[in-house]
Structure formats: structure tokens, C-alpha cells
Structure 1
């Protein structure tokens, strides 16, 4: 992973006064061209790495760095940790190197460096088939800054139906999934995921975020991605109630696609049933109508009625034949 190499290069620069692209290439077992690209990437990201031309030239870290990284400013420290190791993709070696770098930082920078390291997740695998590259979201820097500093944001947002809203959010972090960007945040209604290309405004406040203890971006995104994968593979979601005596039959019929929500006041069980299509689910559930009442979607109810009519037409008469 490139993040491994970037951290390794920073450690080399910290240990030595100067390195060459050839030395980096030999140490990391990459080509000199790759080593130069990595060194350039560090500089472009805001880390104070600079090159010296000539026969005795090479690359150095501004401000020394042999024993610490005090030459880094707060913004440069943040840039390093954003580039070097997003929380969900860093290998154990990268995490170990980041811990060493944190210990080498001036104490005033440490909390922000650790917050920066955990405020961004880069997930290169897109949802389904690769899509056209999307432009960088306009409010990305502001929202990432709010996540790192732990402050609330007044967010303007336009949802998939075109409805505009304005709300206070408590940013947890930013996720890049393929070419799509998402803000994961808490609101008064709980955790939400916002498509960054639907954000219409972002006003950063100085009020501290309120986020449940023990919650982090990495764990939250794992839960969100798992839920989205389930919904993508089973896009139809049926809300229904089931008589208790029919619940075992329902479990056999739909297996892991069944979610039990709890008992209603009348003793019936509220359930969610997921699957790939309305007609197929209707056919699967048609034999359970004695116990099952479909609340929504209406399309499944209509398919059940059509299936019932077809069954009556074919088998309702005493002398029905094929």
C-alpha cells in the first residue's frame, strides 16, 4: 500500500539528514520513479519535504526531524496523517509507524494528529460497477476540519427526492467510497450518512460535537457498508406482521432475509422481509397468508392478490383441469 511507503519515507527522513530517491527505492523495494512520485506526493500534501539538486542532492525534511518532527506546523501534521494512514486501510505496520510519529510530535500537535488519522476512510472499491469519476466535493475541507476539531456544523442538504433541509450535525468523519464521498455524522435522530455531492452549504460552528462513547468512524462505516450491501443485494423491503404460530414457517421460507422487530400490543410480531424482487417475494409468501399481513409495499399486496386470483381460477372449481 502506498500509505505504508509514505510513512516509511517519513521515518527515513526522521532518522537521516537526507535521503535520495535511489536510497528510498532500495529500502522499500520499488523503482526510483515510484520513490520520486512518493516523495513528491508528501510535499504536495503539505508535509515540508524539499529536494536539493546536484550530485550531492537528495530530499530533506524541513526543520531537521532527526529526533523529532517539531519542524511540522499543525496543518502540516494534519496533512501527513490524512495522507499516511486512514483508519480503515492502514496495515498493522502503518499503525505502528503512526504511533511512533505521534510520540515524536510536539505535544500540542498530538491530539489533532490522531484525530486527523481517524477522520478519513479511503475505500477504493465502488458500489457495484465502477462509475464515472466525480469531482471533489465543494465542502470537503470544511467538513473534514470540523470532524478533526470535533465541532458541530449547520448543514444544508438536498435528499434524493429533491427536498432541501437545514440541520445541525455532529461530524464523525469523511468516507471516500470509490469516486463517491460521504459524511458520517450524528443528528438529533441518530447516526446519518450524507452524500457529499448533495450538501448545499456547510457552516462550521465552535460548539463541541456530542457523539456516543466508544463510537469511531472505522467501526461505524463497517456497520453502514454492511447494511448497504444487504440492501443492494435485497432491494425490496416488506413491512409485515405475523401471528406467533406462523413465525417458524416464515423463518423457514425466508431464512436470513427476515428481521424481527418485536411484538405489537395485540401479540402479533412486526417483521421486515427483504429480497430481490416484489413478485418473487409475493410468490414465496403466498402460502403464509393465514398468518402474515403485508403492510407495505403495495406492489407486493397487489402481486399476492393476482396470485390468489390465479390460484382460485385454476383450482377453485371442483372439476378444475389443467
Structure 2
């Protein structure tokens, strides 16, 4: 809505002192023409907004005027950013609108609010859906607060064997996966994942976290979850050869599941394909048999033969479209 944009533009002017139409357009995800109209509308409404012409020009508030339209306390700003974060249950459009508004919040709320937006991740694909959802773990709020404030934590932890330990961790974020909560953090030995219900103590320090440059909670969790899935279900490994003109098709269809090797005497390329099950892979590879010859395991070859027989029985008497 335009009213929301005008409020956001005014808050941007308060925070930055001067903005250009291009900056407003980028921040609010509108066209520069729309941004200029909004700036003109503010000026025409009696708000002391004026333009500075020439190189290095832009729009400013006369006399550095301050009109705090947010009306938000620090805790309310944090709550709003949490609602706009990656774990928010609302629609993408709602989260986008919230992010646009909160990006225009004046300091000192903005830095911690942005940290709050990336402190929590919701992964709906639980590893154990038979478990009833327990109440939130005791130290969950304290750990999230440490993530938002960007401080190290002295963490007490009890592992799956019942052994207790204590260490300093650098929290990256908290993840809800199914009924369980996990803390993703860095330690002196690298990235670690901790079940929050096994945390026995969590004492924040006044020292800032030290994290690798560019580290991201969502990407880190994808890597962790993929590694867990691989260890839970050892992948099936298929060996075979592929005609040279089919390699691009295999790469497109299989992505990271495909590993290519050397060239055989007859010019074919050796391949290794990994996946979760023989039958699933056979079904995926059935459309690639024009180029692909599976040599092992025999189970995959049997599945492919059965799929081929079923296709022939159902479609064998039907002419191929476009062919005699």
C-alpha cells in the first residue's frame, strides 16, 4: 500500500539524512518512477522534504527533521523482525512487506532486529515424526538472545551417552526441525550442532562471536541435514558407462549425484551414480538408457528390466507420436 511506502520513505530519510530515488526504489522494491512520485507526495503533503540537485544530490529532510513514526520499542522491533524472518509462518508476500517496513526502522533497533531475522530457522522435515512435540527447551530463549546479541556462550552439554562437558561456543542460529530444537555454533574445533534439550547450562559472555566470513544459517543447516541423511541411509552406488553425447543429459538429470571417470576402449565414459535406493534410482535412470549402460549392482539392472517390461506391455502396441 502507498501509505506504508510513504512511512518507510520518511523513516529512510531520518536514518540516512539523504537518499536518492534509486536507493528508495531498491530498498522498497519499486520502480524509480514510483519512488520519485512518493518523494514528491511527501513534499506536497507539507512534510519538510526537499531535493538537492546536481552531482551528489538527492532528497533530504529540512533541518534534519525527526518524526518518529515507528512508535516501536526495541522489543517490539525485534518481535516484528522475527515475524519477518525465515521461520515466519506467513505468506511470502506478508514476510516481504514486513521486511520492507522494518528495514526502514531508525537506529538503534535495526542491527539487533536484523540479527533476530536470521537467528531462527524452521525445517519442517522432522527426523522422527513419531515423537510428540515437547515443550520448548529450558535454555532456548537464552540461546536465541545470545544469537541476536552476537555474543559467545559458555555452554554445558550432555551428549547421547550421558557424558557432560562444558565449552565456549559462538552461536550462529537456532533451528527447529520437527519436534526438536538445535543450536548451530562454532567452537575451537569447527562447526558443531547441539540438541537444545541436552543443554545443561548456557551462560552468555560479553565477548563477541567470531564466525567465518559469509557464513549463513540456512546454508549451514542444509549441509548439516544432508550429512545426517547420508549417515542415516547409506547411498546406493551404481556403476556404468555412458555414451559421450549423453553425458550432458546425465549431468542435467543427476546433478551432484553423478561422478564421471575415464574413457573406455570403445570411447564410452565411466560413471558412478549415488542415490537413496536401487528402485528409486532405476526409475530415475529409465529415461536415460539410450546413452547409459548400468554394469552394477544387479538389483538396479533387474529393476530397469522390470520397468522396461511394464512399459512395453502398456505402450508396446502404440505408435510413437510423429513416427510411422
The two structures have a TM-score, normalised by structure 2, of 0.51
Q: Distance in 2 between matches of 1:90 and 1:231?
A: 33
Q: Name the residue aligned to 2:302.
A: none
Q: Name the residue aligned to 1:21.
A: none
Report deviation, 1:207. 0.1
Aligned: 1:150 with 2:150: yes
Report deviation, 1:98. 3.6
Gaps spanning 5+ residues in structure 2: where? Answer: 9-66, 241-255, 260-273, 278-295, 298-324
Q: Name the residue aligned to 2:224.
A: 224
Q: Render the CA deviation track for 1:255-289: whole Å, top value 9, x for unaligned.
A: x9999xxxxxxxxxxxxx9999xxxxxxx99xxxx
Q: Name the residue aligned to 1:102.
A: 102
Report deviation, 1:205. 0.5
Corresponding residue SS for 1:97: helix
More moved, 144-153 vs 88-97: 88-97
Measured at CA, do residues 201 and 104 of structure 1 come closer, stay the same or move farther in structure 2, by a change above 3 Å?
same
Q: Render the CA deviation track for 1:8-54: whole Å, top value 9, x for unaligned.
A: 9xx69x89xxxxxxxxxxxxxxxxxxxxxxxxxxxxxxxxxxxxxxx
Corresponding residue SS for 2:144: helix
Q: Render the CA deviation track for 1:157-206: whole Å, top value 9, x for unaligned.
A: 00011110000000001001111000000000000000001000000001
Given that residues 154 and 166 in structure 2 are in contact (C-alpha distance below 8 angstroms), is that contact kept between their aligned partners in structure 1? yes
Q: Distance in 2 between matches of 1:194 and 1:73?
A: 32
Q: Name the residue aligned to 1:240.
A: none
Measured at CA, do residues 184 and 88 of structure 1 come closer, stay the same or move farther in structure 2, by a change above 3 Å?
farther
Q: Name the residue aligned to 2:192.
A: 192
Corresponding residue SS for 2:108: helix
Given that residues 258 and 274 in structure 1 are in contact (C-alpha distance below 8 angstroms), is that contact kept between their aligned partners in structure 2? no
Gaps spanning 5+ residues in structure 1: where? Answer: 1-7, 16-66, 236-249, 260-272, 277-283, 286-322
Q: CA RMSD in A?
A: 3.6
Q: Name the residue aligned to 1:320.
A: none
Measured at CA, do residues 175 and 68 of structure 1 come closer, stay the same or move farther in structure 2, by a change above 3 Å?
farther
After the TM superposition, which residues 88-237 of structure 1 pair with which residues of structure 2 at under 5 Å, given as runs?
93-94=93-94, 96-234=96-234
Aligned length: 191
Given that residues 127 and 178 in structure 1 are in contact (C-alpha distance below 8 angstroms), is that contact kept between their aligned partners in structure 2? yes
